[in-house]
Amino acid sequence: MFTGLIEEVGFITSISKAENTRICVKSSLEIKIGDSVSVNGACLTVVKKLENGFCFDVSPETMVRTNFKYLKPNDPVNLERSMIAGVSRLDGHIVLGHVDFVSNIKSIKNLGEHRELDIYIPSSYKLMVVPKGSIAIDGISLTINYVFEDFIRINIIPHTWENTNLYAKKTGDYVNIETDIIGKYVARYMENYDKPTLDKFMNGLL
């Protein structure tokens, strides 16, 4: 389990896109073999330590469901170690490291020092995104500002832009999306109700 607060931006040193894919990342994080690490929002297990980083074995399912299939050496990736159970604050939101789908960046606009990011959302996931709700983009915990017909709009503060892989993104790039786990359970529960009841619920009338 993760928080969506990126600890470090690592860089791909090698990636073998074979039957058993192995991805190696340059990083200064203190990590041991067997640790779980969120890489661009996907939970992976460290299988090898390097002098200046570590490696992961990636399953075919993960390659299909994430933007790993587009990665190449020197690409920046967001890294976060798993959450520590205790009394510390949960500053982001609950992120499982299970990517729901890969999407495209529709547009990036400069708003002074801030950026406005529009990201396409498939109709099948429309119920999972709500204004002011949480979403993980490449593992980054972000707040949705607006929900439109086929995309969402997010405001990126300078700190987040400069300390994640977003600084290297451009329109059309692929990003991993994990929607809020609480929203998933609510949507699953509401499948048992008819559409008029669901519409009332979504509009705050229940």
Identify the residue whose tokens are 């203190």.
30
Backbone angles phi, psi at 202, to 5 degrees: -65, -25
Alpha helix segments (H runs only) across 19-69: 60-65
Mean per-residue pLDDT, 37-58: 96
Cβ count near 67 (within 10 Å):
21
Q: 162 is in which domain, residue-wise?
A: 101-202
**Within a domain: 165:** yes
Residues 107 and 51 placed together within one structural domain of the fold: no
Residues 59 and 128 placed together within one structural domain of the fold: no
C-alpha pair distances (Å), 52 with each of 24, 66, 103, 188: 10, 25, 31, 43
Task: Quote the number of domains for the chain.
Answer: 2
Residues 63 and 115 placed together within one structural domain of the fold: no
Confidence label for 126 from pLDDT (cuts 50, 70 and 90): confident
- Judge contact between 166 and 176, C-beta under 8 A: no
**Within a domain: 59:** yes
Token couple for 92: 């982001």
| Global pTM value | 0.86
CATH of the domain at 144: 2.40.30.20
Mean per-residue pLDDT, 63-70: 94
Question: Alpha-carbon distance 39 to 190, whole Å?
Answer: 32
Q: Is 48 helix (H, G, I), strand (E, B) or coil?
A: strand
Question: Alpha-carbon distance 5 to 44, whole Å?
Answer: 16
Task: Identify the weakest region by mean pLDDT among 34-48, 122-136, 138-152, 186-200.
Answer: 186-200
Q: Tell me what pLDDT residue 115 has.
A: 96
- Higher pLDDT: 133 or 184? It is 133
Mean per-residue pLDDT, 141-170: 96
Q: Please state, for a pLDDT cut of 90, what percent of the chain lies above it.
A: 69
Confidence label for 96 from pLDDT (cuts 50, 70 and 90): confident
